[in-house]
Amino acid sequence: MSGSPFNPEGPNPDPAGPDQHPEETGPAPTYTGRVRVTSPLASAPRHVRRTVRQEIDESTGVGEVYMRSLIRSQLRAALTVVITLLLSLGVLPIVLLTVDSVATYRIWGVPLPWLLLGVVTYPCLVVLGWLYVRQAERAERDFAELVEAVGDEDPQDPA
Partner 1 sequence: MNTTYGIVAISLVAVATIGIGAFALRFSRTTSDFYVASRSVKPWLNSSAIGGEYLSAASFLGVAGLVLASGANMLWYPIGWTTGYLLLLVFVAAPLRRSGAYTVPDFAEVRLQSDAVRKVATVLVVAVGWLYLMPQFQGAGLTVRTVTGAPGWVGSVVVAGIVVVNVVLGGMRSITFVQAFQYWVKLTALLVPLFFLLQAWNDDGRPSPVAPSDWVDPFTTTDGPGLYLTYSVIAATFLGTMGLPHVVVRFYTNPDGHTARRTTLIVLVLLGLFYLLPTVYGVLGRVYAGDLVEAGRSDAVVLELPSRIIEGSMGEVLAALLTAGAFAAFLSTSSGLTMALAGVVGQELTGLDRGRLRQRRLSSISALRIAAAASVLVPLGLALSAERIAVASSVTFAFALAASTFCPLLVLGIWWRRLTAPGAIAGLVGGGLAAGLGPVLTIVAHPDGWFGTVMSQPALWSVPLGFGLMIAVSLMTRDAIPLNVARTMVRLHTPERLDVDRRDRASESLASPGDLP
Residues in contact with partner 1 by CB under 8 A are 46, 48-50, 53, 56-60, 64, 67, 70-71, 74-75, 77-78, 81-82, 85, 89-90, 93-94, 96-97, 100, 103-104, 109, 111, 113-114, 117-119, 121-123, 125-126, 128-130, 132-133, 136-137, 140-141, 143-144, 147-148
Q: Which is nearer to partner 1, 16 or 119 (CB)?
A: 119
3-state class of 126 per DSSP? helix
**Comparison of 21 and 106: residue with beta carbon closer to partner 1:** 106
Three-class secondary structure of residue 110 per DSSP: strand
CB within 8 Å of 115: residues ≥ 6 apart: 107
In whole angstroms, the minimum distance from the beta carbon of 157 to partner 1 comes to 17
Find the shortest distance in angstroms from Cβ 159 to partner 1: 18
Nearest approach, Cβ of residue 37 and partner 1 (Å) = 25
Number of Cα atoms under 13 Å in the Cβ half of residue 154: 1
128 by Cβ neighbours in 10 Å (0-12 / 13-18 / 19+) ranks as middle
Residue pair 112/106 in contact (Cβ under 8 Å)? The answer is yes
Report the residue count for the chain.
Answer: 159
Nearer to partner 1 by Cβ, of 16 and 99: the residue is 99
